[in-house]
Amino acid sequence: MHSIDAVDLALLQALAEDPRATTVALAQRLHLSRNTVAARLARLEDADAFLHFDRRIDPAVLGHPLTAFVELTVHQRELTRIVEQLARIPEVVQAYGHSGAADLRVHVVCRDTDHLFRIDAAILRIEGVERTETSLAMGELIPYRLQPLVAKLRRGL
């Protein structure tokens, strides 16, 4: 990826604050030409600077108000296949490779604790999963955000 400069950081901060901003709106806000903004966005896109775009849907709207994190201990040789099978479980919304005692940290959403119990059982049925440890999220206290980091980087230039 190319190095990020002050214009890129300003553009990224504006997008972090208003992800649906149009190229024209970004150009006006940043006092740049529309072509400059379009070219910068294209270059950032080509450099894979943006994560997959998916509007953040509240799982509660879909009848899944509970969030849990399931830590898995797995047979490392079977990690690729295990992850493929986890991805087939619709309630698994995210998974990370993990350091420490567990090998994977899986973010799941569910209707209630009985549903969570069944999801956990489905995960345990995957061959190569040795054990799970599940914790229920009590509430999101800091939502995913990058504005503070981008602002800090802009101050440092």
pLDDT tens digit string along 6-35?
999 999 999 988 989 999 999 999 999 999
pLDDT at 1 over 60: no
- Check which CATH number belongs to the domain holding 24 and give it: 1.10.10.10
Percent of the chain with pLDDT over 90: 80
* 88 in the same domain as 27: no
Q: Does 148 reside within a domain?
A: no
Domain extent, residue 67, equals 59-136
Q: By three-state DSSP, how is residue 138 classified?
A: coil
Residue 104 included in any domain: yes
Same domain for 122 and 67? yes
Q: Which residue has the higher pLDDT, 157 or 12?
A: 12
- Please give the pLDDT value at position 36: 95
Q: Look up residue 85 and give its two tokens.
A: 């099978």
Residue 137 pLDDT grade (very low, low, confident, very high; cuts 50, 70, 90): very high
How many of the other CB atoms lie within 10 Å of CB of 139? 5
Claim to verify: residue 132 and residue 63 sit in the same structural domain: yes
Count the domains in the chain.
Answer: 2
Q: Examine the domain organization and report whether 67 and 80 are in the same domain.
A: yes
Q: Are residues 38 and 69 in the same domain?
A: no
pLDDT for residue 3: 84
Beta bridge partners of 92: 108
- pLDDT at position 52 is 78
For residue 23, the surrounding DSSP H or E stretch is helix 23-30
Span 47-73, pLDDT tens digits: 888 887 777 789 999 999 999 999 999
Is residue 8 within 8 A of residue 40, CB to CB? The reply is yes
Handedness of CA 8, 10, 13, 15 (dihedral sign): negative
- pLDDT (0 to 100) of residue 55: 72
Per-residue tokens: 150 = 């981008």
Cα–Cα distance between 103 and 97 in angstroms, integer? 6
pLDDT band at 2 (very low <50, low <70, confident <90, very high): low
Q: How far apart, in whole angstroms, are the C-alpha atoms of residue 50 and residue 48?
A: 5
CATH code of residue 99: 3.30.70.920
Residue 113 located in a structural domain: yes
Q: Is residue 24 part of a domain?
A: yes
Q: What is the pLDDT of residues 93-109, one digit of tens each?
A: 999 999 999 999 999 99
Beta strand extents in 1-157 (DSSP E only): 66-74, 92-97, 104-110, 129-136
Could you tell me if residue 14 is inside a domain? yes
